[in-house]
Structure 1
Amino acid sequence: LTIYCQAQQLEFQHYSLEDGLSQTTVYDIIRDRQGFMWFATEDGLNRFDGYEFKVFKHDPLDSTTIAGNIILCLLEDAAGMVWIGTSKGLCQYNQQTETFMRYTNSSA
């Protein structure tokens, strides 16, 4: 059995608070089909377009904002929708309006 391998060169970029990242504790990272990098942090959802960060945070007075600021996990589904798991519930991101649909547990 003969196996041929070619080393793959990987390139990493380090981002910090000075670059616009809202928090250095990152729980999850995804790249969506549009090329945006999404970072799940302890202080908001960060979207990176290759040049700058846009930070999405919870606003208790606006129901279209993300459910909570502690972002735990991220997923892009087969339809290209970005889903965000927060400490306060699940959210779906609307690319057209840059708003969030919240799916939270209601206490009875």
Structure 2
Amino acid sequence: MTDKPIPIDLVPFAEMLDGGREFLRAWAKEGGPASYFVNPKALGADPALFGIALVDAARHAAAAWGKALGHSQDEMLARIWEGFDAERTAPTNDLPLPVAVARKDD
């Protein structure tokens, strides 16, 4: 495993991303915590929009895991909801975590 971050290649999806703004970047350490960088301005003033985006992301992730592992999307989504519920019930990290605020022009 490399020590440098390896970005997901978005070049094939450039047309799909046209006009979009990045609002979330996430990094996971093997056997360790994950780090998240959120730009709320990209979504709008209402935090509920982030919740909607997370549910959409969960559905996309379920499709990806299903395809990668040869399981149904529904089965993978159920497992993702189990993870959501477990983390909401007993968070693995105490808050507050370090917070990076987007620049004014972002």
Could you say whether these structures have the same fold, taking a TM-score greater than 0.5 normalized by the shorter chain as the test? no
Q: Name the structure where helix makes up a greater proportion of residues.
A: 2
Say which structure, 1 or 2, has more relative contact order (CA 8 Å, 6+ apart). 2
Taking structure 2 as the reference length, what is the TM-score of the superposition?
0.21
Q: Name the structure where strand makes up a greater proportion of residues.
A: 1
Taking structure 1 as the reference length, what is the TM-score of the superposition?
0.21
Larger Rg computed on CA atoms: 1
